[in-house]
């Protein structure tokens, strides 16, 4: 069985694409959430191995969600999903504890490579 992944993104199409892509590459989808607040609750409930977290979401944004997840589990493995124009923010997320980032629109191989890199980082 693959590593369990939680997808947190406010765009249903992104959640669906990532879900299908990751299942195809033998990862297990623990669940998905459409906003930060829901993502935090699902993180507590599902205890995934990896979180793929969108930067820009309404309400509780990606940075707040990242910090809350890391307060629950300081060893949480979170990969940020960011739009091309948000790359400057990436430093902020890495400094806050994110393990990696993926730029949207994403390349399939980059997503898989990023997850593999994070899995092997311990």
Q: Which pLDDT band, with edges at 50, 70 and 90, does 107 fall under?
A: confident
Q: What are the boundaries of each domain within the chain? A: 4-119
**Amino acid 82: pLDDT:** 86
Q: Provide the pLDDT for residue 12.
A: 97
Nearest Cα neighbor of 6 from 67, 66, 47 is: 47
- Reply yes or no on whether the pLDDT at 54 is more than 60: yes
The separation between CA 46 and the C-alpha centre of its own chain, rounded to angstroms, equals 14
Backbone CA torsion sign across 62, 74, 20, 34:
negative
Q: What CATH architecture is 4-119?
A: 3-Layer(aba) Sandwich (3.40)
Q: How far apart are CA 65 and CA 69, in angstroms?
A: 6
Q: How confident is the model at residue 106 (pLDDT cuts 50, 70, 90)?
A: confident
Report pTM: 0.93
């Amino acid at each position: 069985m693959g590593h369990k992944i939680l997808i947190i993104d406010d765009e249903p199409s992104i959640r669906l694409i990532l879900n299908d892509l990751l299942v195809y590459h033998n990862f297990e989808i623990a669940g998905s959430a459409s906003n930060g607040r829901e993502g935090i609750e699902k993180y507590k409930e599902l205890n995934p191995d990896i979180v793929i977290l969108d930067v820009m979401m309404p309400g509780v944004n990606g940075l707040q969600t990242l910090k809350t997840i890391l307060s629950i589990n300081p060893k949480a493995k979170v990969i940020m999903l960011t739009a091309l124009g948000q790359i400057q923010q990436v430093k902020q997320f890495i400094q806050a504890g994110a393990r990696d980032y993926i730029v949207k629109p994403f390349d399939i191989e980059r997503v898989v490579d990023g997850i593999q890199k994070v899995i092997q980082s311990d």
